[in-house]
Copies of this chain bind each other. A is one copy, B any other.
Amino acid sequence: MTLSKAKLKDLRSLTHKKIRDQQKKFLIEGLRLVGDSIDSGFKLLEVFYTNELKESTAGKDLLVRLGNKTSNLHEISDREMDLISETVTFQGIVAVVKQQEFSLDSMLENPERKSHLVALDAVSDPGNAGTMVRSCDWFGMDGVLFGTNSVDLYNPKVLRATMGGIFHMPIVEGVDLLSTLSRAKELGYTVIVTDQSGETHCDRMNYPTRSLIVFGNEAWGVSDQVKELADFRVSIRRYGLGDSLNVSVACGIILSSVHRLYE
């Protein structure tokens, strides 16, 4: 299949947030992400791959699995792939995926007794945000909220850093955190804000069965207005000279302490 100039331009335009938002689509690249999308509830609209991918064992396997999910599967040239693809390393496969809109209400009203949610308050670095989703996936969080000022979930660098996490749990973006935290508290959630000067050490924190944990911006942390809604402010004890931890590292440490009491 040869892609028309207009089609290439369309695909390429999905690297812009504005177009992604309008069309409710996003692009994913590489064996890993495309593979993870297959077993998810996300709809694969179109898939493009190169001859090189088709020739590899892993690529062949993936194409068979994809064949069961979509008929919109097209071989394109390396040059065309280069024009669509964002990454420097050659991935050989891209897919156009329909954005899935999860309901914030159902996420909060989670009928399970246990519900652990994570919110990102203006986390701005794509690598950090994606890595945090990856950790939420590892630690079995029930959902992630991207606050209005956080980096775009469908940014290719965020998606890559999630390592498939985007396909494993509901994530809602563009969330107004102030109203959402108030609503969560009405629904029985304990709001836990991470804060370097928080009075509760995370190892001493007894995470309630319904907890919503908020992580803040790389430079200034969680915003003051959000902090005011906190039931607990947790911190990570320092033993050395460093004056801060990376936010995705802090997130991993806090999440690793959530389950400790249930063991």
Q: Which residues of A contact B (CB under 8 A)?
A: 127, 131, 134-141, 161, 163-165, 168-169, 203, 236-246, 248-253, 256, 259-260, 263
Q: How far is the CB of A220 from chain B (nearest CB, A)?
A: 15
A146 vs B251: C-alpha distance in the bound complex, in angstroms? 25
- State whether A256 touches B236 (Cβ < 8 A): yes
Let me know if B203 and A238 touch, CB within 8 A.
no
A sample of 28 cross-chain residue pairs with beta-carbon separation below 8 angstroms, ordered by A number, consists of A134-B245, A134-B246, A134-B249, A135-B245, A135-B246, A135-B249, A136-B240, A137-B240, A137-B242, A138-B239, A138-B240, A138-B242, A138-B245, A140-B238, A140-B240, A140-B241, A141-B240, A161-B246, A163-B243, A164-B242, A168-B242, A169-B240, A169-B241, A203-B263, A245-B252, A246-B252, A249-B252, A252-B253
A138 and B244 form a contact (CB under 8 A): yes
Kindly identify which residue among B138, B165, B246 contacts A131, using a CB–CB cutoff of 8 Å.
B246
Shortest C-beta distance, A168 to chain B (Å), equals 4
State in angstroms the CA–CA spacing of A106 and B246 once bound together: 30
- Nearest CB on B from A206, distance (A): 16
Q: Which residues of B contact A246 (CB under 8 A)?
A: 131, 134-135, 161, 248, 252
**Inside 8 A of A240's CB, which chain B residues have their CB?**
136-141, 168-169
| Nearest 9 Cβ contacts at the A-B interface | A140-B240, A137-B242, A140-B239, A249-B252, A138-B242, A168-B241, A253-B256, A131-B246, A137-B240
A258 nearest in chain B by CB position: B239
10 further interface pairs, Cβ-Cβ under 8 Å (given A248-B248, A249-B252): A134-B242, A135-B246, A139-B238, A141-B240, A164-B242, A168-B242, A203-B256, A245-B252, A250-B252, A253-B253
Contacts of A245 in B (CB 8 A): 134-135, 138, 252
Also in contact, A239 and B259, with CB within 8 A (given A131-B246, A245-B135, A246-B135): yes
Q: How far is the CA of A138 from the CA of B134 in the complex (A)?
A: 23
Report the Cα distance A250→B253, complex, angstroms: 8
Q: Which residue of chain B lies nearest to A250 when distances are taken between CB atoms in the complex? A: B252
Contact partners of A243 in chain B: CB under 8 A: 163-164
Nearest Cβ in chain B — how far from A246, in angstroms?
A: 5
